[in-house]
Amino acid sequence: MILIPLTILFFVTDLDVFLQSRFYSKTPGWHYLNYPIWDFIYRYGIFPGYLFAIAGLIMISVSYWNKKFAPLRKPSLVLVFVMVIGPGILVNLVLKDHMGRPRPREITEFGGNEEYVCPCVPGGVKNGKSFPCGHCSMGFYLAIPYLFLRNRRKVAAWLFLVFGISSGIIIGISRMIAGGHFASDILWAGGIVWLTALAGYYLFKADLPYVITSLNGESERKQARTATIVVGFLLPAITVGLLLATPYISKKSLYKSLPPKHEKILFSANVLDAIVDLNDDTCISAKYEVNAFGFPNSKIRPSWEDGDTLRYILHYMGWFTEVRNRIQMTLPFHHEGEYTIYIREGRAILNVHDSIKEKFGLI
């Protein structure tokens, strides 16, 4: 098994950072991010896995109503089991939400402010959701039919295996290109899905022929109704989970001329990092960028609001499961009013221009 040896390799070398650096430069940053093919894979690459899971759910119900499909019940149970336990619970709820590993774009090597954390090591970074790769797990999920076909239809089995592994890796590359995951995150996404698939395969005894038990008509109908109710519950649950993985990426730059003397200026935001540059400019600027996941059509809109106090506000619209954002503000030092920066979460980082440091003898 290659999972442990490769993990050790990531521990003792800088392979993670080296591989990630192939997709990054200081200018323009993640230089493949806006290529249409990679953006398409990032946004829609998880849908084939979703369709697999839905097909498995439907087949479970159908197999109780029509005995002709009963031999497909065990494979379908394994498919649903892996989706719920693997990508659903282990990857996204247990590990991703609690490991605290910062994403590549959040570490110092790639323009962020966090330190690199090795795979499988708790990072302690609040909302650090790099480990493991959730999108990739949906690609590797497509390899599961190999387990059912390997002894009967070897060519088809190997085609599924190659297709699933390739899908996981390609989706993983699209996430590396976006600065969202390390290569080790992709490795462990595949490992978790495969180990969960093996557990489900033997748990449901999919290696043994399915035996149709003889029940009276009422008992069979009761089983069929129960299976249909369970499927009816899981179908929308999996669908909502998929929709909440919709990516949202946005960059906005807003500029404002310097307000009248003594007017207050308020910045209010919930961001990962607020970088404040004090300089000799004559206008105020706010450059905002966000990488998030949430329900389709969810948006975050920055805006200036005039009044006795000039306000820069972030408006959240919709339902987000993860928001990683930063804002870079440029503030004229010679403004005689008052600056207030309110960050509900995250950090404020102050940069003072050299010309201002010289005035106060700081350099």
Report residue 276 CA to chain centroid gap. Answer: 28
- Do residues 125 and 98 touch, judged by C-beta distance below 8 A? no
Least confident of 79-83, 124-128, 149-153, 166-170: 124-128
Q: What is the pLDDT of residue 142?
A: 97
Q: Quick check: 215 pLDDT over 60? A: no
Alpha-carbon gap, residue 273 to 325, rounded angstroms: 7
- Do residues 307 and 321 touch, judged by C-beta distance below 8 A? no
The whole-number average pLDDT for the span 34-42 is 91
pTM for the whole thing? Answer: 0.85
Q: At 304, list the tokens.
A: 């200036």
Residue whose structure tokens are 């209010």: 268
Taking only the tens place, the pLDDT of each residue in 230-261 is 888 888 988 888 888 888 888 888 888 776 66
Of 59, 87, 133, residue with least CA distance to 242: 87
Taking only the tens place, the pLDDT of each residue in 341-360 is 777 777 777 777 766 666 55
Alpha-carbon gap, residue 46 to 92, rounded angstroms: 14
Q: What is the pLDDT of residue 217?
A: 64
Say if strands 29-30 and 24-25 run parallel, antiparallel, or are unpaired: antiparallel
